[in-house]
Amino acid sequence: MTTVNIDRSIDARGMPCPGPLMSLIGAIREGELGDVIEVLSSDEGSKTDIPAWLEKSGHELVETVPDDGFMRFIVRKTR
């Protein structure tokens, strides 16, 4: 379990691709520099889409935590 303080949590479980990624992008748009955003996704595509987008956009993937039937992506807005 992560020990990072979460500023915003998005429950995108049950949302089909590309919903979880687009929710994250929306939160990054609205967020402040340094904000930590948690995305909960049960969509398999998120495992590749979210890290790939973070790599291109330069924001930090702090942690990926497998949970019961879904993944928690912990992301920090770095610019």
Partner 1 sequence: MPAKVLVLGGGVGGTLTANLLAEELGRDGEVSVVDPTGMHHYQPGYLYVALGQANGRWLVRDERSLLRRDVRLVVERATKVDTEAGSVHLERGGSLDFDYVVLATGARLMPDRIPGLLEGSYEFYSLEGAQRLREALRRFTGGRIRVGVAGIPYKCPPAPVEFVFMVEEYLRRRGIRDRSQITLLSPLNRAFTIESASKVIQPIMEQRGIELTTFFNVEEVDPSAGTVSSLEGEKVEYDLLVLVPPHRGQQVIDDSSLGDASGWLPADKHTLQVGDDGRVFALGDATNLPISKSGSTAHFEAPVVASRIASLVKGSAPKDNYGGKVMCFLETGNGRSTVLRFDYEHPPAPPQPSRLWHAAKWMFNRLYWHTVPQGRLPDTLPLPIPTGRSES
Active site residues: 17
Return the structure tokens found at 13. Answer: 């479980």
Q: Which residues pair with residue 17 across a beta bridge?
A: none
- Residue with Cβ nearer partner 1 (2 or 26): 26
- Residue with Cβ nearer partner 1 (16 or 67): 16
- Residue with Cβ nearer partner 1 (2 or 44): 44
Do the Cβ atoms of 79 and 59 come closer than 8 Å?
A: yes
d(CA 32, CA 19): 22
Least gap, CB of 35 to partner 1 (angstroms): 14
Q: Can you give the binding site for partner 1, defined by CB under 8 A?
A: 15-19, 21-22, 25, 28-29, 45, 49, 52-53, 56-58, 79
Least gap, CB of 29 to partner 1 (angstroms): 6
Three-state DSSP class for residue 65: strand
Alpha carbon of residue 18 to chain centroid: 12
